[in-house]
Structure 1
Amino acid sequence: MNAIPVDDDSLTWGVPSRRVAAFFIDSFLIMIVTLGFAFVFAFIHLMSFGLLRGPAHLVLLVGLIYLAGWMASPAMATPGQMAVGLSVRRADDLGRATLVQAIAFTGLLYLTLVAGVIWLGVALVTTRRRAIHDMLSGLVIVRAGALEPRPW
Structure 2
Amino acid sequence: MQVTPDEFDGVLRRRLAAWAVDALLLLVLSWLVWGGAALLAMMTIGLVGGLLLLPWALLLPILYGTLSIASPLSATPGQALMGLAVRSELDGSAPTLGQAFTSTTLYALSIAAGGVPLLAPLFSHRRRTLHDLFSGTLVLRSATLARRASTKPSSTRGLAAEDG
State the alpha-carbon separation in 2 of the partners of residues 101 and 58 from structure 1.
23
In the alignment, structure 1 residue 142 sits paired with structure 2 residue 140: yes
In the alignment, structure 1 residue 116 sits paired with structure 2 residue 104: no
TM-score in terms of structure 2 length: 0.83
TM-score in terms of structure 1 length: 0.89
Measured after TM superposition, the shift of residue 141 of structure 1 is: 0.4
Measured after TM superposition, the shift of residue 6 of structure 1 is: 3.3
Give the match for residue 104 of structure 1. 102
Give the match for residue 78 of structure 2. 80
How many residues were matched structurally? 148
Give the match for residue 154 of structure 2. none
Give the alignment partner of residue 55 of structure 1, picking from 45, 51, 57.
51
Give CA deviations for 1:95-140 in whole Å, capped at 9, x if unaligned. Answer: 1000111011010001011112232111111131111111001111
Give the CA RMSD over aligned residues.
1.7
Structure 1 stretches of 4+ with a deviation exceeding 4 A read: none
- Greater Cα shift, 102-111 or 142-151: 142-151
Percent identity between matched residues is 33
Structure 1 unaligned blocks of 5 or more: none
Q: Is the 8 A contact 1:6 1:92 kept in 2?
A: no
Give the match for residue 33 of structure 1. 29
Measured after TM superposition, the shift of residue 63 of structure 1 is: 1.3
